[in-house]
């Protein structure tokens, strides 16, 4: 199997920060402070060593996100159309063969996220590799071939938005992350924020 340390340059990581965060009062979740750092910082720190390039998909506060030194890509589709729109808009800007995505509000992204998604994709000879927590797929933790750009644009152009439905059109690898379910903890409410902040400050990960 390929040595992932040699091939990291073939991946572009995309941090999805384009949502409305309605349950957080419409705040920009990536910039909400969690234990002393904006939430996006945790994902950046985890993803950057695993890929050759990083993009942040953001529809607001782009000048703030730009301070992280990454290209900032806004959704091309109006009306906050969900993560699929962020993926499609980011794919346009990517020159590497693969794109891997993670949300801005999940502070426990594992150090081997990309490796595991990629190796499963190779094993299954798939076009897309999606994480699975042991109960459900986690569609925003996905690695895909960038050649799928036309497919995803066509799907959105037909008014479709459901990412699972788009996945059904392609050879899909399911990557088991049931051994590290904390990967998929995300922060949707102030209560979530308080719980995870206490956990981080206590050094529990």
CB 187 within 8 A of CB 105: yes
Name the burial class of residue 50, with classes exposed (0-12), middle (13-18) and buried (19+) by CB atoms within 10 angstroms of its CB.
buried
Domain ranges in the chain are 9-201
Radius of gyration for the alpha carbons in the chain, expressed in angstroms and rounded:
16
Is 142 in contact with 175 (CB distance < 8 Å)? Answer: no
Please give the pLDDT value at position 161. Answer: 85
Distance from C-alpha of 35 to C-alpha of 37, rounded to nearest angstrom: 6
Q: Which of 33-37, 43-47, 101-105, 162-166 has the lowest mean pLDDT?
A: 33-37
Q: Over the stretch 83-142, which tens digit does the pLDDT of each residue have?
A: 898 999 999 999 999 999 999 999 999 999 999 999 999 999 999 999 999 999 999 999
Q: Are 145 and 96 in contact (CB under 8 A)?
A: no
Supply the DSSP symbol for 11: E
Give CA–CA dist 144/11, Å, rounded: 10
Backbone torsions φ then ψ of 8, nearest 5 degrees: -60, -25
Bridge pairing between strands 37-38 and 33-34? antiparallel
Of the listed ranges 54-58, 80-84, 106-110, 182-186, the least confidently predicted one is: 80-84
Cut 0.85: pTM above it: yes
Cβ neighbours of residue 70 closer than 8 Å, sequence gap 6 or more: 15, 44, 54, 55, 56
CATH assignment of 9-201, among 3.30.70.1230, 3.90.550.10, 3.40.50.620, 3.40.30.10 = 3.90.550.10
- Which segment of 19-28, 37-46, 71-80, 162-171 scores lowest on mean pLDDT? 19-28
- Indicate whether 2 pLDDT > 70: no
Looking at per-residue pLDDT, the higher value among 202 and 163 belongs to 163
Q: Which range, 111-115, 182-186, 189-193, is most confident? A: 111-115
Q: How far apart are CA 183 and CA 155, in angstroms?
A: 28
- Residue 130 has what pLDDT? 98
- The C-alpha atoms of residue 24 and residue 17 are separated, in whole angstroms, by 14
Which long-range contacts link 1-5 to residues 24+ away (Cβ below 8 Å)? 1/119, 1/122, 2/122, 4/50, 4/114, 4/115, 4/118, 4/119
């Amino acid at each position: 199997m390929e040595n992932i340390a040699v091939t990291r340059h073939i991946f572009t990581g995309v941090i999805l920060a384009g949502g409305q965060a309605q349950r957080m009062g419409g705040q920009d979740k990536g910039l909400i402070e969690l234990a002393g750092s904006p939430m996006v910082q945790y994902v950046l720190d985890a993803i950057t060593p695993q890929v050759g390039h990083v993009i942040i998909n953001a529809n607001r506060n782009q000048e703030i996100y730009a301070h992280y030194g990454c290209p900032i890509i806004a959704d091309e589709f109006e009306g906050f159309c969900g993560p699929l729109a962020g993926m499609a808009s980011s794919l346009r800007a990517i020159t590497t063969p693969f794109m891997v995505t993670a949300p801005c509000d999940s502070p426990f992204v594992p150090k081997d996220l990309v490796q595991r998604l990629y190796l499963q994709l190779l094993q299954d000879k798939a076009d897309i590799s999606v994480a699975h927590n042991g109960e459900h797929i986690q569609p925003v933790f996905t690695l895909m071939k960038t050649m799928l750009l036309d497919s995803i644009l066509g799907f959105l152009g037909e008014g479709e938005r459901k990412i699972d439905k788009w996945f059904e059109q392609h050879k899909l690898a399911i990557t088991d992350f049931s051994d590290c379910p904390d990967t998929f903890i995300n922060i949707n409410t102030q209560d979530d924020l308080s719980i995870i902040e206490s956990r981080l400050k206590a050094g529990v990960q």
